[in-house]
Homo-oligomer: A and B are copies of this chain.
């Protein structure tokens, strides 16, 4: 790739239901000469995440929608190749939010230097050591705090956030962790690799039936990435004082029909339950605490993670759609070939 040509993926129309290639275009942008205070970064990895679907629409939400005919923003990690700011010399590994482009150029303040970890790809900063891990941590500490001995249910457990939730829940004292996923392979992975005590395949039978069987003594904490029938199933089996962290509702994001809600909301009153929706962006004040604890767990070998890596920026839209369909295990990232 040329150092002054940036290949970028832009949103050109707002999807109705499932996004398609036609909602996007790829453009080649010639970068200006570097201005004072700016740096140029060659990206190594781009992040594709479920929350991006919300930003493709124009609805009232916690973040502004993506602009049309603008380059998709989002997490990315790369290396400084040219610098007009002494705080970020050439060769520095940096994290930023400039999204789906192979070369990024902006004022140094838009990049944050992160340490290289021997033997570990920098994509971890888009996942377990980044927003993904922080999302799990915030959910289990502030939003729906896990207590010693709790039973925890995680929906979408084989996804990037879900695999982190299962492990962090255990590290925070949960005694039983149950997950849901959409294939036999993922279910096996949850119990064999990620330490879940039990897992259910939501395609096999109604979630509320399966969860009731796997949680005969109820659940105390629910971390929801899916919504819909998973939330309903959790409301069935919550113990008194149960807490739910509503992080995602991927089951509904591409639906053009109005979903029906849980038919058992009255359990909220009967069992003194709490549900709280959240967005990690409102909890960045927990970043330092998270990074300290996660670094300890990570270096002690207590954290297992998977990545699903798609090669090439030209496959970003496919990667995003595959992730929305659940084709990934763990964090889905796009790798930009270097050199």
Using a CB–CB cutoff of 8 Å, the interface residues on chain A facing chain B are 54, 59-62, 227, 231-232, 240, 246-249, 252, 258-279, 282
Contact = CB atoms under 8 A, between A and B. Distances in A.
The DSSP consensus for interface residues of chain A is loop
What copy number does this chain have within its complex? 2
A227 B264 CA distance: 11
Contact of A249 (B248, B265, B277): B265
Contacts of A268: 246, 275-277
Given A54-B270, A259-B266, A272-B279, 6 more contacts: A62-B269, A261-B261, A272-B276, A272-B277, A272-B282, A274-B275
Contacts of A266: 227, 249, 252, 259
B269 A279 contact: yes
B274 A265 contact: no
A115 to B, nearest CB: 32
A246 B272 CA distance: 9
A8 to B, nearest CB: 27
A274 B276 contact: yes
Contacts of A275: 268, 274-276
B276 A231 contact: no
A275 to B, nearest CB: 5
A269 B247 contact: yes
A277 B282 contact: no
A265 B231 contact: yes
Contacts of A270: 54, 59-62, 277
8 contacts: A59-B270, A60-B270, A231-B265, A247-B269, A269-B279, A270-B277, A272-B277, A272-B279
